[in-house]
Every structure is written in structure tokens, then in C-alpha cells.
Amino acid sequence: MSAGVPGTGDAPVALARRATAEPGSGGSGIVLAVETSCDETAVAVVEGGRRIRASVVASQVAMHAATGGIVPEVAARAHLRWIVPVFEEARAGAGIDDWSAIESVAVTYGPGLAGSLLVGINFAKTLAYVHGLPLVPVNHLEGHIYAAWLLDREEPERPAPPFPLIALVVSGGHTFLVEMQDHLDYRFLGQTVDDAAGEAFDKVGRLLGLPYPGGPAIMKAAAGAVDRDVQFPRAWMGESYDFSFSGLKTAARRAIEARGGTAALTSGSVAELAYGFQESVVDVLATKTGLAAERSGARAIILGGGVAANAVLRDRVAARAAALGIPLIVPRPALCTDNAAMIGAAGFFRTRAGTRASLDLDARPSLPLVG
């Protein structure tokens, strides 16, 4: 099934099934991108779908640490506070003084938190309207895939990811596998049927008494495990490429209760349990991704999303890719988490494919990648 950007209610969106233009063919190729889907306020300027000219992110992680998770209203208000300063810093960093140098304004319109999305959408609408530029809607999940195309400002040129490829996106809100035959052309293979992997990391991290966000904290704790014989169940889901982490989360809670609860855990117990939990998540993700790549004849594997910053997951998927003789392409950690550069990369190919939104564009909190 090929992907499109689904309709937006009263907002007509011109769709194109596939981008055939290559970077540099017509127009400046410079996209100004806005991303506010969750708790990162981000603006970037990306050229040709690859080269980052500027990328600025204002993180809210410290703000939400006290509650152990994201409070939607607090996140939206923080976006309102930071969107203009972040934009000004990105524009200055990119050296953009003449708006005629910009080909389009790309913005995340889903999925995500409704209030957060609306801040970025309305800001992007204003820029597009005032400067007479096309407004290009981008799916946040698509952005995580296209982060693999990005090059830092001074980074040497390298080949773009080859098609066909398999992309695994793993974050706090999403876990899914897709096959890509060409730009903007997705065949959905599988997804989580309950909790996303990142959400499971956060919740188990809290049960272990570790700080928010749970992913980095669990990885750090697991590295110190002496006894690595702690075993947690794997939900293989038969022959499908779907994932399930709800049962694993329950198993972790029971293992913690068996040791007297969170307050009774020693540092050694925390390390052992963190190791066992992380191994279960990584094993399932890496194995299913490797099988999908092998069966589809993929020429590369892309790993994206915030959990892709986990070094153990990266190493395990890299080993699977190496066994198949294909490359694993993973953005640097800051480009795995939410940022606007990835929206600029996807936005370039959407721009060249003719995807456009009217100024009635609305937020789509539950927007699917394919549908």
C-alpha cells in the first residue's frame, strides 16, 4: 500500500503518491520546517532533503521530569513560550535573510498531542501566508524515517539510503516496521498492539525508581549488571511483525514485587532487572527487523525514533544487518529524538511530490502513517 497524507477535514490537501524529483531539480530546495508534536519545540532549515543548515530544539524533558511524564497542557504552553525564539535562532543560524530563498514551509500535523500540534501548525500557517509560500503537511512518523537522509552542516557527502529498505521506528508513542520501495512509498508490516517500546521503558524505569525518561536510565543501569541471568518473557506474536510490550511491563512489575517492591530494591537488583527488561525489548525488535529485511530482500535497514538512541538496540540491529550484508543507517542520537530537521527532509520530498495544505490545515492527533 502506498502512503499519502490523509485528508484533514475541511483542509484540502493535494496528494502525490510518490516523489520522483531528486534533490536540486527545480526551486531552491530549501525547506523551513516546524515540529511541535509532543514536548520538543523545534525549527530547522534543510536543503535538498538532506543538508541541515540549521536545527534548533528547545526540550521540555526537565519540565516534565517532576511528573514522570508529559502533561499535555503544560507542553502546549511551553511551545507558545519557545516557538518564536527557536524560529529566530534557526533562521539566523541558517543565514536566511531573504524569504525568496525558501521553497516551502513544512510542518508536523500529526500524530501527537493536539494542543502541541496546533502551536506549530498555526505558526507555520502564519509564515506561509505572510511570505506567500507553500504550506506542506508532514506526518511525524514519516519524519523519523527521513532522519536517515540527513547530513550535518559540515558532514561529508555520503550515499542516500538505497531502496528497497526496511525502517523500524521506535519511540515513546510509536513502534512499527515498514518497507519502502521508493520515496513516500510505504508498505506497513507491523506495529505495537498495545504499549510502544519507549512507553514501556518509561513505565518500567519508574517502577525501578529510575529518573524520567526511562530509556536512557535503564540503559545506564543495565550496563552495571553483574548477574545477567534475569530472564523476561518475549512476545513474538507468531509469524506477524507486530509487537507487544504490555505483558513484559506486567512481568517487570511482578519481578519487582517479588523482591519487596521498588523501595526495597538494591542498586544491584535494579541493574539486573533493567538488564533483563532491556534484553527482552531489544531481542524482539532486532529479530523481527532482521527477518523483515531478509524476507523482503532489503538493501538497507533504517532505525529511527527516540529509542533508536539506545546503544544496545543499535548494536543488535547492526549485527542483524551485517549478517545480511546490508548497511544499518541510524541518525545520530539528537536526530533520533523529535526535531524539525527530519520534518524538513520529509518536507522536501513532499514539496517536490506536490503535497500542499490550505490554511485550514488542522491537527490530526491520531494520524496514521499509511491509510
DSSP one-letter code for 7: -
Q: What is the mean pLDDT of residues 237-248?
A: 94
- Binned at pLDDT 50, 70 and 90, residue 60 comes out as confident
pLDDT at 245: 96
Q: Please report, rounded to a whole number, the percentage of residues in the chain having pLDDT higher than 90.
A: 85
pLDDT at 81: 95
pTM of the model: 0.90
Q: Look up residue 364 and give its three cell numbers.
A: 490530526
- Binned at pLDDT 50, 70 and 90, residue 26 comes out as low
Per DSSP, which regions of 140-290 are E strands?
A: 165-170, 175-182, 185-191
105 exposure class (CB count in 10 Å sphere: 0-12, 13-18, 19+): buried
Other CB atoms within a 10 A radius of the CB of residue 170 amount to: 31
pLDDT at 371: 75
C-alpha–C-alpha distance, residues 83 and 278, integer Å: 35
| Whether pLDDT at 61 is above 90 | no
CATH topology of domain 165-331: Nucleotidyltransferase; domain 5 (3.30.420)
CA-wise closest residue to 331 among 58, 106, 139, 145: 145
| Whether pLDDT at 10 is above 60 | no
| Whether pLDDT at 150 is above 90 | yes
Q: Position of cell 518564536?
A: 84
pLDDT tens, residue by residue, 290-322: 999 999 999 999 999 999 999 999 999 999 999
Matching CATH topology for 13-152+334-357 and 165-331? yes
Q: What is the mean pLDDT of residues 167-175?
A: 94
pLDDT at 8: 33
| Whether pLDDT at 194 is above 60 | yes
Please tell me the least confidently modeled range out of 60-69, 148-157, 200-209, 279-288. 60-69
pLDDT at 205: 97
pLDDT at 144: 97
pLDDT tens, residue by residue, 86-141: 999 999 999 999 999 999 999 999 999 999 999 999 999 999 999 999 999 999 99
Domain boundaries, the chain: 13-152+334-357, 165-331
CATH topology of domain 13-152+334-357: Nucleotidyltransferase; domain 5 (3.30.420)
Question: 3-state class of 278 per DSSP?
Answer: helix
C-alpha–C-alpha distance, residues 343 and 35, integer Å: 7
Q: Are 359 and 178 in contact (CB under 8 A)?
A: no
